Amino acid sequence: MPGFEVIGAEEQAEIDDIFARGGVLFRHGFDAIRNGSYKVREFESAFAEYMGVPHALAVTSGTAALRVALAVLDLQPGDEVVTQSFTFVATAEAIIESRAVPVCCEIDGTLNMDPVDLERRMTPRTKAVIAVHMLGTPARLPEIAALCERRGVTLIEDAAWGCGGSLDGRALGTWGRMGTFSFDFAKTMTTGEGGMIVFHDRSDYERAAAWHDHGHENNPSVPRWEDTRSGSGFNYRMTELQGAVGLAQLRKLADVVRRQQSNRDAIWQSIRDLPGVVAREVPRGSVETADALVFESPSPEVARELRKRLVDAGLATKILPEAVTWHFAATWSHMPELVEHHGDLATAFPATAARLARCVSLPVMVNMEDSVPARVRAALASALS
């Protein structure tokens, strides 16, 4: 699974370096006592370079990253933002926090946004689309990006789960006008809590940087307490401690993804011939982050039985089929804004409900024991044969 498995001496060394150079934990200022230690700034530059984009802004979480990205768009009440019905609840929360109307669409065999249903759910009020790369597999970005372009709608990627993946050689998160990442403790790279936004456009970056810092423009010609501002904002600033850990984790990202892919492939080879196991659809040109292996089973009953056999064998599933409550909009009746738009949520996404109920998702660890593929096969085979 994630970056927490490989946390160690490198992260510790980056933290120690902060204290060796004066212990300044705030990303801005204190220049005279920090001896050149700017971990968040360094992390942003390294992340932007890794992703092949000119700008990156570190924030406190993946949820904050979505909120700050939406702030750049200056949404007005009544504007609609469409995302997919299978995502983490944070994607919809950020839309609601931005005073926009949350709209969800069906997923297809990729378990990501179905571009055909996306178009159906767009209206003249649609201002943005948030495509999510759920469980590490790229969404159909060429189709979604072309549709957004045709309709004059901003594309944002929620790459919370896509960090280190790519499509057609372009990093996930860099296809849209902005891409957001999560570094929470379950993600492919982690800073405990944390997030990042990447940008192509300097003015988008500047707007986000100010908004995430109470509107501060960090004008170099005045002290911070006399700083210039042209709008208000909030506080989503990352601390130097998180920046330090992020720097060390980023250096490990390619290796983590490579090992996850190899472990995912080993599990898949051991189960691919079992009757009723159907691979998740993967867009051509995808490099997946592979922290989960998802397949479809013949029915919801079989999917639940497969989960039971896995748990009985001391193994686990990841979100599917049992834990969709935080990840499927049909269950979010606690969000009045979503209910107001869609009506009865339980029946609003029938294709997604039917597909998710049939799917099984297996966690993929970086430090996987060699016995896992055979144990997974044994557990599944006992229910499928």
Ligand X SMILES: Cc1ncc(COP(=O)(O)O)c(C=O)c1O
Contact pick of 110, 112, 182, 242 for ligand X (by CB under 6 A):
182
Please write down the HEC assignment for all residues of the chain: CCHHHHCCHHHHHHHHHHHHCCCCCCCCCCHHHCCCCCHHHHHHHHHHHHHCCCEEEEECCHHHHHHHHHHHCCCCCCCEEEEECECCHHHHHHHHHCCCEEEEECECCCCCECHHHHHHHCCCCEEEEEEECHHHCCCCHHHHHHHHHHHCCEEEEECCCCCCCEECCEECCCCCCEEEEECCCCCCCCCCCCEEEEECCHHHHHHHHHHCECCCCCCCCCCHHHCCCCCCCCECECCHHHHHHHHHHHHHHHHHHHHHHHHHHHHHHHHCCCCCCEECCCCCCEECCCCEEEEECCCHHHHHHHHHHHHHCCCCCCCCCCCCCCCEHHHCCCCHHHHHHHCCHHHCCHHHHHHHHHEEEEECCCCCCCCHHHHHHHHHHHHHC
Shortest distance, position 195 Cβ to ligand X, whole Å: 5
State which residue, 37 or 289, has the beta carbon closest to ligand X: 289
67-106 footprint of ligand X as x/- string (CB under 6 A): --------------------xx-xx---------------
* Identity of the residue, 139 or 345, whose beta carbon is nearer to ligand X in the bound complex: 139
Please tell me the count of residues contacting ligand X according to CB under 6 A: 14
349 is a contact residue toward ligand X (CB under 6 A): no
Closest residue to ligand X, based on beta-carbon distance: 62
Piece of 14-22, 155-163, 232-240, 374-382 that binds ligand X (CB under 6 A): 155-163
**Listed ranges 26-34, 59-67, 149-157, 240-248: which one lies at the site for ligand X (CB under 6 A):** 59-67
- Using the minimum distance from each CB to ligand X, give the nearer residue, 22 or 192: 192
CB of 60 vs ligand X, minimal distance in Å: 8
Question: Using the rule CB under 6 A, which residue among 2, 3, 62, 373 binds ligand X?
Answer: 62
Residue ranges in 100-139 that form contacts with ligand X under rule CB under 6 A = 132
Contact letters (x/-) for ligand X, 292-331, by CB under 6 A? Answer: ----------------------------------------
User: What is the closest distance, in whole angstroms, from the C-beta atom of residue 302 to ligand X in the complex?
Assistant: 26
Among residues 80, 108, 117, 158, which is the contact residue for ligand X, using CB under 6 A?
158
Judged by the rule CB under 6 A, the positions of this chain that interact with ligand X are 61-63, 87-88, 90-91, 132, 158, 160-161, 182, 184, 195
